[in-house]
């Protein structure tokens, strides 16, 4: 019991310290689409280490419930539509994996206090028992449960970590590709309005496609 309390205290301490450091240095104030170019300049200032800085930043955002959409769009702006996808994918995969491991082995009591009274989580927990990794696919594609909280919540279920990490990494890709393309469209146009509009149209089609997936899947999981 004592070791669990110590682990919980350490986890809370680390999370609180990181959050206050982000606030102190003004990072949390930049997590907004209207400030996206300020973040780009900050990331680019790191030169060849910028991808590592970005991936680290994405991991922190995933762990500390910072909005993921503007950071995902930023990757397309800062690194382009191809490398941007790769860096988001790496950062997101590491972030969701760490959150899962924290919930399962470090701060289980804390995470349980967040989600055990949530009816949606109880349904997901039951579905994991019945369907295993298939329900993980559903919840990655359909936003029925806050994405960052999902990462911790799955650590409380019986799903195996390798299965969780692999399935999550694959089925986060559709949304990642769609939103990175928004940022990528802005830089791929190279100042040419017509070219930029073409890339934005492609991004719009991808986002439309991704938005239709939840409607299709909800029909198959109508009880969630």
State how far the Cα of 102 lies from the Cα of 8, in Å rounded to an integer. 10
pLDDT of residue 219: 60
Rounded to 10 deg, the angle between the 173-188 and 161-171 helix axes is 40
50-69 tens-digit pLDDT: 999 899 989 998 998 888 88
180-221 tens-digit pLDDT: 887 777 666 555 566 666 767 777 777 777 667 666 655 655
The reported pTM is 0.74
pLDDT of residue 96: 94
């Amino acid at each position: 019991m004592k070791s669990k309390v110590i682990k919980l205290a350490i986890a809370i301490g680390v999370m609180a310290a990181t959050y206050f450091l982000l606030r102190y240095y003004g990072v949390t104030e930049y997590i907004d689409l209207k400030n996206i170019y300020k973040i780009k300049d900050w990331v680019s200032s790191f030169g060849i280490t910028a991808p590592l800085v970005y991936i680290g930043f994405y991991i922190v955002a995933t762990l500390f419930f910072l909005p993921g959409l503007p950071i995902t769009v930023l990757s397309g702006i800062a690194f382009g539509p191809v490398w941007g996808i790769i860096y988001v994918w790496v950062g997101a995969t590491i972030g969701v994996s760490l959150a899962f491991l924290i919930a399962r082995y470090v701060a289980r009591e804390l995470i349980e206090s967040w989600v055990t009274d949530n009816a949606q989580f109880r349904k997901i927990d039951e579905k994991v028992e019945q369907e295993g990794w298939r329900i993980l696919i559903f919840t990655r594609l359909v936003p029925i449960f806050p994405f960052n909280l999902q990462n911790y919540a799955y650590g409380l279920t019986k799903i195996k970590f390798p299965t969780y990490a692999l399935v999550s990494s694959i089925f986060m890709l559709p949304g990642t590709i769609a939103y990175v393309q928004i940022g990528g469209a802005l830089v791929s146009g190279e100042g040419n309005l017509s070219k930029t509009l073409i890339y934005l149209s492609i991004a719009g089609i991808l986002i439309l496609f991704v938005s239709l997936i939840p409607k299709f899947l909800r029909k198959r999981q109508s009880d969630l």
